[in-house]
Amino acid sequence: MSADRTEQLRAIRDAVLNLTESPLYEYRTLNKYFPVLGQGDHNATIMFIGEAPGKNEAETGRPFCGASGRVLDELLASIDLRREDVYVTNILKDRPPNNRDPLKAEIELYAPFLERQIDIIQPKVIATLGRFAMGFILRHFGASQANQKISQLHGSAITVRASYGKAVVLPLFHPAAALYNASQRDTLEADFQVLKQFISQERSTPMRLL
Ligand code: URA
């Protein structure tokens, strides 16, 4: 089962590696960057979805490995989770120049890869990090809340119907927001408590980069 998931995720990685039609492909290759597919447990109950890789991520091929990633790790630790217990990915798999917001066309181009990752891993909880991931995921599942603001929806569990059954979307602020703002950090910590009820008993395997 898990080997099968890994095979399917490898196929996604290979497709993204060769995504020459991406407007970000040339920027990736010129800078000797890597695409960032995702990292963690292929059987995870909880999947985190961020926006796009930053510089650190593009240099290493690992999601959330810079300053925002440290915040994410601390938030995970606050509910007794480690990265290897969850799966972490982004909407865009390549870094946009100067960390600008993702463009609509870029989101549309990379969306099928994220959608396949969700269908393969089949998370019970999809925790979105920031407004882009929240908007994309709520629209993807046809949620009636899709046009609401993250300031209204953060921390509230929204039930959606995925291809593999019921799932919960949990909108969260982006960890970068907590870097310089203590009250955003408090909010994120409180919202992470909502995840506690979904933590499964069995702990998983060594960390996978894919
Ligand atoms: N911000 C994101 O949205 N994703 C990353 O992987 C890193 C920073």
Whole-model pTM? Answer: 0.95
Task: Choose one of 47, 55, 56, 68 to mutate for the ligand 1 pocket test, by most ligand atoms within 8 angstroms of C-beta.
Answer: 68
The sign of the dihedral angle between the CA atoms of 24, 30, 31, 33 is positive
Q: What is the DSSP string of 88-108?
A: EEES-SSPPGGGPPPPHHHHH
Q: Which of 75, 88, 90, 174 to mutate to test the pocket of ligand 1 (most atoms within 8 A of CB)?
A: 90
- The pLDDT value recorded for residue 203 is 59
φ/ψ of residue 67, rounded to 5: -60, -45
Q: Which atom of ligand 1 is nearest to the CA of 36?
A: 6
For the record, the structure tokens of 202 come out as 């069995």
Go through the domains of the chain in sequence order and give each one's CATH number: 2-209 (3.40.470.10)
Q: What is the mean pLDDT of residues 61-75?
A: 98
Taking residues 141-164, report their average pLDDT.
98
Kindly report, residue by residue over 72-124, the tens digit of the pLDDT. 999 999 999 999 999 999 999 999 999 899 999 999 999 999 999 999 999 99
- Of 141, 127, 54, 139, whose CA–CA distance to 88 is shortest? 127
Q: Which of 23-32, 82-91, 197-206 has the lowest mean pLDDT?
A: 197-206
